[in-house]
Amino acid sequence: MTKITGLIIFAIVSIVEMPQVAIGSDSKSVSKHDEEILRSQIKQFLSTWLVDRDFAKAIDSFSARAFSNKAIFDESCSGIQDEARNSAEAMKNEIGKFLNLDEEDFPVSDDLNVALSANSLLPFKRLKSKSVSNMEQDRFLLLRIKASDVADFASESHAHKFLKEYFKSTQPLYLSIISIGDAGGIVYFIWEKDGENWKISHASLVCM
């Protein structure tokens, strides 16, 4: 694990453990029923992406505004071209390419439990009590966070500044953390309500 990887993991754990992140701290509430819908939608997204390998359908889980998010997948290991960040259509294409990484990075399996590596989530194990999901059963963590906290996950100053402006809403956000394959690469997604559905508005990697 690199120093920067450890710092990002530490930042996520520290922020989520803070008392103000507790359920009910936002100005808008989310019912348990809504959280179960989100949990189900995340499972469907992961199955569509990692098992069915239907990338065109998987990208539908991203909100329209995600493609104008200049900090999404900002890490160099994502492979996303900087020049694409000036065009929503170009960013949609770049995210589609990321989802379609080769089998060495995203092992093909007809079992989502095989595609997701729970072992690499061990640095986040202390957050289990705050998770909306069951880490052992779902093989991902799902945590409620404040919009103002998202920028603190960014490792670059320009991304931090952008996300401070991007997430000004007081509506609740949810952070899902997954680890893919034997390499243990960690990907996290920020979900927010978009009409009747939950959509990804930000995503990032913890490069290993």
| Inside any domain, residue 26 | no
Residue 194 has pLDDT above 60, yes or no: yes
Per the model's pLDDT, the better-predicted residue between 189 and 7 turns out to be: 189
| Inside any domain, residue 109 | yes
| Inside any domain, residue 100 | yes
Per the model's pLDDT, the better-predicted residue between 11 and 152 turns out to be: 152
Gap between the Cα atoms of 122 and 145, Å rounded? 20
Q: What total of structural domains would you count in the chain?
A: 1
Q: How confident is the model at residue 6 (pLDDT cuts 50, 70, 90)?
A: very low
Question: Which range marks the domain in which residue 138 is found?
Answer: 3-17+36-206
